[in-house]
């Protein structure tokens, strides 16, 4: 046995992760179903470190020091099960299988349980940062047993991104906790991207700015509290010109957003947990709307408002910056609420502040802002919502007039801003002294005798709506 850790599945993420390990001085066994990939990796990057190529699963397993650390980087779903089923019989109690793909946390729970029964550790590890992150330092969210983290943590922390000397990797919690948190990370990623898209769309269609001008606005924002990887790449994309046509690049890309499923899972899971994540849900639905070509074509001639442009583009851009920041706070607050709800449901004991810490670098949603979230949890680890943290509450208060103006402008000019709107509605719903849920309860009691509770007395009640409308105790 010459390798400290092994990676099987050498598509771009697996290959870059293996190179990252090798570059950090960890001898890494590499294996792929088709051996050509393994050979190509060693040929091209062999000089970067100690690679131990293996042609067969048996050879691969034999090359790993014990307890074995085997990372699988294959497609989520059936391919992952197939690889696990192939390797599990070759392993011995105490060995570890790490799934670094975007698995559904329920699959990870199932696999962890099955492998635990035969003495193996199964670690569902969320890995974020795309190809570049895998190579130069991703954010890593490993779940699984404490014991497995003792053996894996130092290696993973070594190859993860670091911010202020702190690695962007920590033990998230048992079984599916890591993949759950990665799923919510992606849900937040969807929401953040949607909000940025709406900001762009408003600047373009309400103020009439050109993509290159909007790139400048985003560049300015990136120097302030919105500083983040997503804002930075947005400026890059908007400034880019299509070589073939000379048009702004964003104008030659078909406007139908795809998705691989993690955003959808976030919303499905939130529905099961009863957590309101409107910002994430609207982002998933916005991608869905964009993809319905027939529906959009059939609706194109529906009447809209009389076209008009805003006079003061600079003032509006300032308002949009505030609306974006406020909506972003809401989207992240919703995602963190979901993490806390999932943690309570599955007994994971996840530290939300630690999640904010490991998202500061390496991952797609990396941002200065996450330091603020960490500080909010430091100040009040049990807070039911980030919105009431002193810093965020003040920012929301300061932004709210502009936020309302932007949402009103979007409605008035007919530029859709579902993310901004739902975030503001969530904010106002939480602030409300009374919600029309009282009326909902009364209606439910009227048509279905579903009963209601009263503000002034304990118990459940029903009104005899079809009779003399006296109230009875249910
Ligand atoms: C990451 C990303 C990544 C995700 C892609 C595409 O954290 O590195 O979240 O895991 O798969 O961003 O996701 P969609 O295809 O669903 O947009």
Tokens of 185: 């990370």
Distance separating alpha carbons of residues 414 and 118, to the nearest angstrom: 59
Q: Is 189 in the pocket of ligand 1 (CB under 6 A)?
A: yes
Q: Are 246 and 253 in contact (CB under 8 A)?
A: no
Q: Are 371 and 334 in contact (CB under 8 A)?
A: no
Q: Which atom of ligand 1 is nearest to the CA of 190?
A: 17
Q: Which of 135, 260, 359 to mutate to test the pocket of ligand 1 (most atoms within 8 A of CB)?
A: 260
Short-list 426, 35, 318, 240, CA closest to 43: 35
H-helix or E-strand spanning residue 123: strand 121-128
Q: Are 112 and 166 in contact (CB under 8 A)?
A: no
Q: Which of 364, 366, 367 to mutate to test the pocket of ligand 1 (most atoms within 8 A of CB)?
A: 364
Residue 176: the pLDDT is 98
Residue 368: the pLDDT is 87
One of 112, 157, 182, 328 is an active-site residue; which one?
182
Residue located via tokens 């459940």? 460
Q: Is 32 annotated as a binding residue?
A: yes
- Exposed e or buried b per residue across 95-111, where buried means at least 16 C-beta atoms within 10 angstroms of its C-beta: bbbbbbbbbbbebbbbb
Short-list 441, 407, 411, 438, CA closest to 424: 407
Distance 125 CA to ligand 1 centre (A): 14
Tokens of 300: 């194109």
Q: Is 190 annotated as a binding residue?
A: yes
Question: Could you give the residue ranges of the DSSP H alpha helices within 51-104?
Answer: 57-62, 78-87
Distance separating alpha carbons of residues 58 and 237, to the nearest angstrom: 46
Instruction: Return all residues near 306 (Cβ < 8 A) that are at least 6 apart.
Output: none
| Per-residue CA distances from 233 to 193, 219, 236, 243, 246 (Å) | 11, 10, 5, 19, 20
Q: Is 364 in the pocket of ligand 1 (CB under 6 A)?
A: yes
SS3 content of the chain, % helix, strand, coil (to 5): 55, 10, 30
| Residue 182 designated active-site | yes
| Residue 189 designated active-site | yes
Strands 28-31 and 162-163: unpaired
Tokens of 445: 């009691």
Tokens of 167: 């690695």
Angle at which helices 418-431 and 177-205 pack, to 10 degrees? 110
Residue 163: the pLDDT is 97
Residue 225: the pLDDT is 97
Distance 67 CA to ligand 1 centre (A): 31
Q: Which atom of ligand 1 is nearest to the CA of 129?
A: 8
Closest residue by Cα to atom 7, ligand 1, is 128
Low-confidence ranges of the chain (pLDDT < 50): none
Q: Is 139 in the pocket of ligand 1 (CB under 6 A)?
A: no
One of 157, 189, 198, 282 is an active-site residue; which one?
189
Distance 126 CA to ligand 1 centre (A): 11
Q: Are 38 and 100 in contact (CB under 8 A)?
A: no
Distance 378 CA to ligand 1 centre (A): 29
């Amino acid at each position: 046995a010459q390798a400290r850790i092994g990676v099987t599945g050498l598509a771009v993420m697996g290959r870059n992760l293996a190179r990252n390990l090798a570059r950090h001085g960890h001898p890494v066994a590499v294996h792929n179903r088709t051996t050509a990939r393994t050979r190509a990796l060693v040929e091209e990057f062999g000089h970067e470190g100690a690679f131990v190529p293996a042609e067969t699963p048996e050879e691969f397993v034999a090359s790993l020091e014990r307890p074995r650390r085997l990372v699988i980087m294959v497609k989520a779903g059936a391919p992952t099960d197939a690889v696990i089923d192939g390797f599990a019989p070759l392993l011995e109690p105490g060995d570890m299988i790490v799934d670094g793909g975007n698995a559904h946390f329920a699959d990870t729970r199932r696999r962890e349980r099955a492998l635990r029964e035969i003495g193996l550790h199964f670690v569902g590890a969320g890995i974020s940062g795309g190809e570049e992150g895998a190579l130069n330092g991703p954010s890593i969210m490993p779940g699984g047993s404490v014991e497995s983290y003792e053996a894996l943590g130092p290696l993973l922390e070594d190859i993860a991104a670091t911010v202020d000397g702190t690695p962007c990797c920590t033990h998230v919690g048992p079984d599916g906790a890591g993949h759950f948190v990665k799923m919510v990370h992606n849900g937040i990623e969807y929401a953040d991207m949607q909000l940025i898209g709406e900001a762009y769309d408003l600047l373009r269609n309400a103020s009439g700015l050109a993509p290159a001008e909007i790139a400048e606005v985003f560049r300015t924002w990136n120097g302030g509290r919105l500083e983040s990887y997503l804002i930075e790449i947005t400026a890059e994309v908007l400034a880019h010109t299509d070589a073939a046509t000379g048009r702004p690049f964003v104008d030659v890309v078909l406007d139908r957003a795809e998705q691989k499923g993690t955003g959808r899972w976030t919303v499905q899971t939130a529905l099961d947990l009863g957590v309101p994540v409107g910002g994430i849900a609207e982002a998933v639905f916005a991608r869905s709307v964009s993809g319905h070509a027939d529906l959009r074509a059939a609706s194109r001639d529906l009447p809209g408002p009389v076209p008009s442009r805003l006079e003061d583009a600079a003032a509006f851009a300032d308002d949009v910056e505030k609306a974006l920041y406020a909506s972003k706070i809401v989207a992240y607050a919703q995602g963190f609420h979901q993490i806390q709800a999932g943690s309570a449901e599955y007994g994971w004991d996840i530290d939300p502040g630690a999640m904010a810490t490991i998202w500061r670098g390496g991952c797609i949603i990396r941002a200065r802002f996450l330091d603020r979230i960490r500080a909010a949890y430091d100040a009040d680890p049990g807070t039911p919502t980030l919105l009431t943290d002193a810093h965020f509450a003040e920012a929301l208060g300061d932004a709210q007039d502009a936020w309302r103006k932007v949402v009103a402008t979007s409605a008035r000019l007919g530029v859709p801003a579902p993310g901004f709107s739902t975030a503001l509605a969530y904010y106002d719903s939480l602030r409300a002294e009374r919600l029309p849920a009282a009326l909902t309860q009364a209606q439910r009691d009227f048509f279905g005798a579903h009963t209601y509770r009263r503000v002034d007395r304990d118990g459940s009640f029903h009104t005899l709506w079809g009779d003399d409308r006296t109230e009875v105790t249910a």
